[in-house]
Homo-oligomer: A and B are copies of this chain.
Amino acid sequence: MQIRDPGAILKNAGFRATKPRLLLLELLEKSHTPLSIHDIVAKLINDDIDRVTVYRSIEAFVRIGVVREVDFQGQLARYELPDTEYDHHHIVCTKCHKIEDFIGCDVERIEKKALHQSRSFSRISSHSFDLYGLCNSCA
């Protein structure tokens, strides 16, 4: 897995390398699962980063694609850094909310099928795919 440098990400995206944004990207970089705003605020509160700053930074990051938003059923939105190599997705436990990754969702194939059926779309820019079930501990 490639390590992404928060400073470089910000610079490339045309953002300033501020302390809040650097810390936010470092947090996402280190996390093994996508984090909710709540999670992020809880971590960054120690560094005196304001909740509003988190909202605004995430919004900006998602808008230009530096961060990916993930929406699980019945939960608040979560955020993670986009894949550099393999396009990964998530299996989520409907009871304990444990999250595990998997790769290989066969998008190209399905995009093609979908576009073939579509009257209003000619190009797909992104996708989401999530699996739900009880994890072995909860089952």
Interface residues of A (CB under 8 A from B): 62, 69, 71-74, 77, 89, 91, 93-94, 98, 100, 102-106, 109-111, 113-114, 117-137, 139
Q: Are B73 and A128 in contact (CB under 8 A)?
A: yes
Q: List 27 A-B contacts (CB under 8 A).
A: A62-B74, A71-B71, A71-B73, A73-B77, A74-B77, A91-B118, A91-B120, A91-B124, A93-B121, A100-B119, A102-B113, A104-B113, A104-B114, A111-B131, A120-B135, A120-B136, A121-B131, A121-B134, A122-B136, A122-B139, A124-B132, A124-B133, A125-B132, A127-B129, A127-B130, A128-B130, A129-B130
Q: Which residue of B lies closest to A122 (CB)?
A: B136
Give the residues in chain B near A135, CB-CB below 8 Å.
120-121
Contact call B110/A129, Cβ cutoff below 8 A: yes
The answer to whether A121 and B133 have CB atoms under 8 Å apart is yes
Q: Which of chain B's residues have a CB closer than 8 A to the CB of A127?
A: 129-132
* A124: chain B residues within 8 A (beta carbon): 91, 131-133
Check if A114 sits within 8 Å of B131, measured CB to CB.
yes
- Smallest Cβ-Cβ distance to A125: which chain B residue: B133
Chain B residues contacting A128 (CB-CB under 8 Å) are 73, 128-130, 132
CA distance A126 to B100 in the complex (A): 15
Bound: A84/B135 CA distance, A: 26
